[in-house]
Amino acid sequence: MTEPGPYPDSRGMPSKDERTWALVAHAGGPAGVLLTAGLLGFAVPLVVWLAKKDESSFVAQQSREALNFQLTLFLLHMSGWVFVLVTLGVGFLLAWAFFLGLAICELILGLVAALQAYGGRPYRYPFTLRMI
């Protein structure tokens, strides 16, 4: 027997369709970063949020959470590149470890969030600016 979740259907958890859309929102971030060299990780969560926010509270919450996480990472990436530019490229010797750490965090947390959401459990990213 499953415990009732905050977004119940007849079994006490989000429907399979809702869980799939939440998975797409979370996993779309790391995929978008890999496919666009780190620039558009927020695109997939944004599209899912805009398309599904009025249909499902679970998908709206999870896609908004993924979008906020991706926007936070985007801002961190941009601040790293500003640092590199201000130091005339010398800062890249320090910044590469920062960029690598961001990529690893994005991949691991994105996959954990996707699996949690697909399991019907809401996921909340740590250290994320909640802008939306």
Residue 1 lies in a domain: no
Residue-wise pLDDT for 44-69, tens only, equals 999 999 999 999 999 999 999 999 99
Q: For residue 44, give the amino acid letter.
A: V
Query: Does the predicted TM-score (pTM) go above 0.85?
Result: yes
Residue 4 DSSP symbol: P
State residue 54's pLDDT score.
Answer: 97
Does 10 fall in a domain? no
Query: Which of 30, 42, 22 minimizes the C-alpha distance to 107?
Result: 30
Q: Per the domain annotation, does 11 fall within a domain? A: no
Least confident residue range of 32-36, 69-73, 124-128:
32-36
Predicted local distance difference test score (pLDDT) of residue 4: 46
Range of the domain at 44: 16-118
Q: Is 22 exposed, middle or buried (0-12, 13-18, 19+ CB in 10 A)?
A: buried
92 or 39, which is more confident? 92
DSSP secondary structure string for all residues of 12-32: SS--HHHHHHHHHHHHHHHHH
CA distance 70 to 41: 6
> Is position 100 within any domain?
yes
Q: Is residue 110 part of a domain?
A: yes
Give domain status of residue 57, yes or no: yes
Domain assignment present for 124: no
Q: What is the pLDDT of residues 83-132, one digit of tens each?
A: 999 999 999 999 999 999 998 999 999 999 999 999 999 999 999 999 99
> Does 23 map to a domain?
yes
Domain count, the chain: 1
Task: State how far the Cα of 85 lies from the Cα of 87, in Å rounded to an integer.
Answer: 5
